[in-house]
Structures are given as structure tokens and as C-alpha cells.
Structure 1
Amino acid sequence: MMGVMTGEELRTLTSRTVRTPAASEVRTVRRTGTAHAWRTRLLVVGIVLAAFNLRPAITSLGALLEEVRDGLGMSGGVAGLLTSVPPLCFAVFGVTAPRLARRFGAGAVVCAGMAAIGAGLLIRPYAGGTAAFLATSALALMGIAVSNVLMPVIVKRRFPDRVGSMTGLYSMALALGTATAAAVTVPLTDALGGDWQSGLAVWAALAAAAVLPWLPFVRERDGARGARSERTASAAAPALRITRSRTAWALAVFFGLQATAAYITMGWMAQIFRDAGVPAGRAGLLLAVTMVMGVPLAFVIPRLATRLPSQGPIVLALGVSGLVGYAGLYLAPAAGAWVWAVLLGVANCAFPLALTMVGMRARTGAGVAQLSAFAQSTGYLISIPGPLLVGVLYQHSGGWGLPIALMAGLMIPQMIVGVLAGRDRTVEDEASSR
């Protein structure tokens, strides 16, 4: 029969089976947790600053295009081609982003992208000559292209449970950067003495600041989680034939059509209002209102999208806003100008929705990388003719009836493919089932 343990025996047995962590171990765990929290905060700051720098290279040039043309002796044809250079660069360079990320790590590529943006913006105003201006613009746009593609990838891998909120955060920062550059470049140039070169070059400082928070993540792929992610990406990427996925194609076309509408809006909407009798200053403000609408909605729409099994209803709501806005531009462009500007700003929020769907239509980080590169590269290729075609129709018809009809007509297929892209499925399942 088992005897009863004494108090001393019980304490001895307990001390052998249960070990209290040493104070040094507790401090180590706390330091590790604190370091991880700070790195996460730093990554959020890096994402926001990177997103803020993804459009000023384009909108700052648009604000000073007349001065740039005069300063470089640029022909009207070349100036018109400048509106198509950004989507062309995004398509050409964006497709290389997944391969670069697998080799060097996503953090390193984004860091290099911010450096390329800063270098391109700093050099291009002083490069001398149209060819050099275009080449240095391409350098900045290359940095934008790879960062465009990798933002959804980084969000998917680092914040898998907060895809909607993080996509909304960087989409909001992107919209804010777009609107800020459009609104501030001209008065900033005036404050710098009216020199268009200084007005363009000043945006390089913001890109340089965006490099700093990414420096600690340049070598992160060597860490345990980074290495696992990269190995998973490398193993999964070759097996996924993204072009076999109908959802990938639908998302690419949706991305291209919304980009077409956005570039047409940025390039021509102010002129539509001016031709309707709206003063130039007010026309610029109306364009700024359209761009600013993306700031709050870019944060709300992705969060809402991730809570719905299908994003089709959001696609339709944005499309209807665009159709009503275009109808207003045709029927009463000056009388209801503020209403049309707001409605078209709502319609332009298809961009953050498209980015959110990129993160939702693939299960893995490698899948998101391939889908993001495919959708954005193909989409930007689709968007290239739009602004040029609007200009041709305007020139040959002598009015805005046909161009506005084209804009409204493109909204219909955008809504259709958007509904298809918003269905609850993943590209991995579609690519592997064929």
C-alpha cells in the first residue's frame, strides 16, 4: 500500500517536474516581443510612405506639363505620349517584380524601388533634353512599378488577418499622395521662385525619406519566416500557370479598365470643365476633389470587401456612380460640376478594390505575387490607348460628346468583369484544375 508523501518529498518532486523560467529568459522573451512589435510598426510606416510615393512622379509632371514642354522644346506629340508612358512602364517593369522578390526579398526590392524613384525625380529636371527626361522618368516609374506589384504581396504575407485594413491604409496613402502632388506642385513651384525644375525635383526628398524604414527589411528574407516564405514562393510559383485562371484574366481586365478611367480622368477632366465655361482655378479644384475622394473611401472599401464573400455588389455600386457622373458631364457639366466630381471620385475607387481582390483571389504569398504581376502588367497594357483615344476623338469631333460616350461605354465591361473577378474563388484552384 502506497504511503503518504511528506512535505519535503512533495516539494522535491514538484521542483523536478515544474521549472520556473529564469528572470533572464523572461527578459529575453520580452525583448524579442518588443523588437517584433517595433519592426511591425516600422513596416507599417514603410508601407504608408512607399504608397504615398507611388503617384507624385506622374501628377506633379501633369501640373507643370506646359512649363516642361516650353523648357525642353517638347513637341505636342511627345507631350501626348507622356500620358501613356506611366502605364507602359508599369506593364513592362511590373512583371519582373516577383522574380526580383524571390531572389532578393520583397523588402529589398521595395527599398530599391524607393531609391529609384528618388534618383529619377532628382535627376530628370536637370538631365537636359527630351530623351534624357524620358529616360529618367522611366527610372522613377520602374521603381513605382515593382513597388505597385509587391505591396499586395507584403500585406498578404505579413498581415494575413488584416488584408482589408492594410490594403485600405496604403490605398488611402496612395490616393493622398496623388491628390497632394496635384494640388501642391504649382504653389510649391511658385514659392521656390517659379522654376519648374525645382518644383519637380522637390518630390525626390519624399522618396528618399521612404527608403529609410525599408532598410531594416533588406536582408529579412534570411530570417526564419522570410526564408520559409521565399522557399514556399519559389516552390509554388513555377507550378501556377496564372494564364489558365479565368479569375486572373477577369481581374486583369478589370484592373485595366479602371486604370483607363483613372488616367482619362487625371488627364482630361479639368479640360472638360474648362471647355464648359468653368474657370481654370475651379476646374483644377474639381479635379482635386475627385482625387481626394479616394482618401477616405480607399480605407473603407477594402475593409468592406474582405467581409463579403463576393465583391460584385461593390463593383456595381462604383460603376453606377461612374455612369451617373459621366451622364452629368454630358448633360450639365458646369451646373452640377461638384456633384459629378464627387461621383467620378467614388467610381475611381475601383483601384483599391482591385488591389484588395488581388490579395483575396490567391491563397499563398507566391500566388499573390504572380497574380499581382499578371493583373497589373496586363491591366496597364490595356489602359495605354484610352487617354490617347479620348484626345483623338476630342480633336476630330470638336467636342466632348464622343469622348464621354467612350468613357461611359467602357464602364459597362468594367462592371461585368469586376463581378466575375469578385467571385469567391482562388487562382490556385482554377490553374490546377485545368
Structure 2
Amino acid sequence: MTPPPASTEAPIRDRTPTAEGTPTTDVTPGLAPAASRVGTPSPATGGALVLVGMLLVALNLRAAVTSLGALLDEVRGGLGLSGTMAGFVTTLPTIAFAGLGALTPWLVRRYAPARVLVVAMLALTVGQVLRVATDSAAVFVLTSALALAGIAVANILLPMLVKQHFGHRTGLVTGAYTMALTIGTTVAAASAVPVAHAFGSWRAGLGVWAGLAAVAVLPWVPLALRARAARRAATPTAAVATPARIRPERTRLGWAMAVYFGAQSLSGYAIMGWLAQLFRDSGYAPEAAGLLLAGVTALGVPVALGMPTLAGRLRTLRPLVLALTAFSTAAYLGLALAPRGLAPLWVLLLALGQGAFPMILTTIGLRARTAEGTVALSAFAQSTGYVIAALGPLLVGILYEATGGWTAPLGFLLAALAVQTGAGMMIARPRYIEDER
């Protein structure tokens, strides 16, 4: 798309409302808007392709992680991983998400998001193929890191793409891709072992997901080519607007978003890592304990679909923040006092409480006016949040080993929930990261 010719007229303000009814950024004649610079397709020609591409990417965002968790014992035996190395492998996702995700705003300032996603999904594909083709523990870790680098970048980009292409339907589209993420997580965890048994090797149980990642590349290739053609078609003399850099780490809103994201992720990773053991300790057979854990993820699918729409319609998120806290509090207290008698109820309440994850993903888009603000806020909140989240399984394990029971670990999760709630109240009212620079 060729930018309009330069003009001496005063800037024209675009009054198109966002999801919360606020105006978008100024558009000045002679300056190409941000969407043009990154080659955004028009809704009539590219919106559907963008949506399909986002859903395929979302399906891949946890498959490489949960499939490895399901086959960790087999991988340890096959590669001779030490206990320390196995522990590092399980912590690697949060390290990658925190460190590599922070680079995404830098990439988006230089390349079209579609091109970045092509490379990210190729990295995920190649990393998953190479890690099942090696007998070296060191190479396995390095290639896993390559795959996780692709996921880390995509984690940050999706909220920005929602804002950029579907700003008037933030809740609906966020719900759709969060549901796809949850489905991918559940299917990979549930089917990795059966696939490995069917083919007689753990390598098949991990490698099969490379095919899904390769499919996710396809929609972004034509979008990347379109972005490249649009940039080449721009006249050499046309001025290009360079948005001021947004630094969420210098704002209270940015830190509140990061703490909320980190606290809810901390509890989520702790639940995924230790809930089955809690149920086994309370008398459930291993198979039943695994099914109860899977129930949290399965029940989270409709929650993931509906939560963003609900969050997008509320003027203030305070009732939602408090409701999610109440669900999680009741679940933790129930697990501490009666883990066996009412286990299905606690699983349901945990699934409802974990609705904090799709809510905070939606809020990232709602608390930024522009695509640039969204990607900056997404990168900071998620990168910092995953550093916090990495402490969850570790501290729960330390408390469990030190006390021999679940009262102290659940008390720790309640304390983390209190921090989460405080941060949630700070981000509940409408405000925007661009206004706090």
C-alpha cells in the first residue's frame, strides 16, 4: 500500500473506536500508519487468513512442552539424562519464555510480524525434529531451546495481532486463540504416550508435533510476502512514522500486569506439576490422579473461550478479579481439608480460577491503545511474569519435601493468590500504557 503524498495540512485524528471506545493513534498525511509499515492485510483480503494463522500458532504454543512432560521418564532413560539435567529441561520453557520473549518488540520494530512468525514457526519445527534425531543430551537441550525460542516469540506476538487486526473483537478472538492453545496443550499431553507406544519410541511421541508446527507456517508465508511487497512498493521519498518507544517497565501499569501474569502462571505451573501427586497422596490410584489433573485442563477449554469476551465487555474488571480469586481460594482450601471426598469439585473450581490466564491475555490488549503498545506490554508482562512463574513448581516441591504434606505448599499458593489479587485490582480499571510513558 503506497502512502499518501506529503501535505502541509494539520494532522487528522482517526476517531475509530477501539474495544473500549477510545480513539486510536493520530494519522498524519505523508506518514504511513503502523499497520502499513508492517504490511497488515485488509479485513476483506487477509483478515480470515490472519485468524487461521493465529489459531494454528496457538495450537503449537504448549504442545512441545506438555508432550515432553508426559514422556520425561522415557526421554531420561533414552538419553541418559541426570536428575539435574532433567530438572533443567523442565525449567527450560519458563527460562526461554522470559528471556527470548523480551526480544520480540525489537524484532517487530525491524520486521513485519508475519515474517517474524514464519521464522518462529520454522524454529519450532526444526527444533522439534532435531531434538528427536539426536542421542546427545546436550544437543537435545540446545534443540529444545531452539523450539522454545519460536514459542517465546509467538507468545508475545498474538496479543499484538489481535489488537492490530481485530481490535473491535478483542475478547472474541482472544478467546478463540486461547481455546486453541488449551486444546493443543491437552491433546499433546494426552496423546504423546499413546503415540510413543504405537510407534515403539518416545521419539515419535515428541516428533509428531513438528508436523503441526510446519502446518502453522503456511498461512504466514503469503502474508509475509505481501508485507514485503507493500514495503517495496512504498515511494522512497515518503516519510515513515516512527512510533515513540514504549517502556512498560517504567510504569505502574506495566509492573502490575507483570505481577498478575506471573502470579497466575506460578499457580498454573505448580498445579500442572504437583496436583496429580497431591491426589495420589490422598489415596487415588495413579490413573485416577492423572485424570483429575487432565480435568483441570479440559474444563479450562470453555473457560478459555468465554473469559476474554466477558472481560472485554466489562467496564471494570474488579468483579471478575475477585470472582477468580474466590474460585481459587475455595479450591486450595478444599484440597487442604478434603482432597479426596470432593475432588471433582476442587478440580472444577481450579479450572474456573485458572481463567485468570485468558483474562490477563485479553487485558494486555485492553490496556494499550496501539499495536506498538500491545507488543511492548505483552513482552514485558510475559517475560517478567515467566521469571516469577518459574518459582512455583520449585518452591512447592521444596515445601512438600520439607514438611511431608500439602498444607505448607497450599498456604504458599494462597499467599501468591493474595499478591495476584492485589495486582489485579490495580489493572482492573480502564487505563492505557501509552498514557503512562
TM-score, with length taken from structure 2: 0.86
Number of the residue aligned with 1:419: 425
Q: Letter of the aligned partner of 1:155 in structure 2?
A: V
Query: Residues 311-336 of structure 1, C-alpha deviation per residue, up to 9 Å, x if partnerless?
Result: 12111111111111111111111211
Please, which runs of 5 or more residues in structure 2 have no aligned partner? 1-40
1:312 to 296, 314, 318: 318
1:153 aligns with 2:160: yes
Give how far 1:58 is off.
0.8
1:295 aligns with 2:301: yes
What is the alpha-carbon distance in structure 2 between the residues aligned to residue 384 and residue 216 of structure 1? 37
What is the alpha-carbon distance in structure 2 between the residues aligned to residue 378 and residue 271 of structure 1? 28
Aligned partner of residue 54 in structure 1, secondary structure: coil
What is the alpha-carbon distance in structure 1 between the residues aligned to residue 299 and residue 307 of structure 2? 12
Give how far 1:226 is off.
12
Query: Residues 369-418 of structure 1, C-alpha deviation per residue, up to 9 Å, x if partnerless?
Result: 11111111111111112211111111121222211111122111101101
Give how far 1:51 is off.
0.3
What is the alpha-carbon distance in structure 2 between the residues aligned to residue 232 and residue 342 of structure 1? 55
Aligned partner of residue 159 in structure 1, secondary structure: helix
Give how far 1:305 is off.
0.7
Number of the residue aligned with 2:203: 197
Give how far 1:89 is off.
0.4
Number of the residue aligned with 1:107: 114
What is the alpha-carbon distance in structure 1 between the residues aligned to residue 233 and residue 374 of structure 2? 17
Number of the residue aligned with 2:347: 341
What is the alpha-carbon distance in structure 2 between the residues aligned to residue 385 and residue 281 of structure 1? 27
What is the alpha-carbon distance in structure 2 between the residues aligned to residue 40 and residue 226 of structure 1? 22
Paired residues in the alignment total 394
Number of the residue aligned with 1:235: 242
Q: Is the 8 A contact 1:108 1:214 kept in 2?
A: yes
1:261 to 233, 248, 267: 267
Instruction: Name the Cα RMSD after superposition.
Output: 2.1
Query: Residues 215-270 of structure 1, C-alpha deviation per residue, up to 9 Å, x if partnerless?
Result: 11113434669999xx99972242x2322221111001000111111111111111
1:44 aligns with 2:51: yes
Please, which runs of 5 or more residues in structure 1 have no aligned partner? 1-33
Q: Letter of the aligned partner of 1:272 in structure 2?
A: L
Number of the residue aligned with 2:221: 215
Number of the residue aligned with 1:252: 258
2:411 to 405, 415, 419: 405
What is the alpha-carbon distance in structure 2 between the residues aligned to residue 424 and residue 71 of structure 1? 52
1:168 aligns with 2:189: no
1:185 aligns with 2:192: yes
Q: Letter of the aligned partner of 1:189 in structure 2?
A: A
Q: Is the 8 A contact 2:43 2:165 kept in 1?
A: no
What is the alpha-carbon distance in structure 1 between the residues aligned to residue 383 and residue 233 of structure 2? 27
Q: Is the 8 A contact 2:95 2:390 kept in 1?
A: yes
What is the alpha-carbon distance in structure 1 between the residues aligned to residue 429 and residue 419 of structure 2? 16
What is the alpha-carbon distance in structure 1 between the residues aligned to residue 217 and residue 232 of structure 2? 20
Q: Would the alpha carbon gap of residues 165 and 277 (structure 1) be closer, same or farther in structure 2, given more than 3 Å must change? A: same
Larger Cα-atom Rg: 1
Q: Is the 8 A contact 1:102 1:234 kept in 2?
A: no
Q: Is the 8 A contact 1:107 1:217 kept in 2?
A: yes
Q: Letter of the aligned partner of 1:410 in structure 2?
A: A
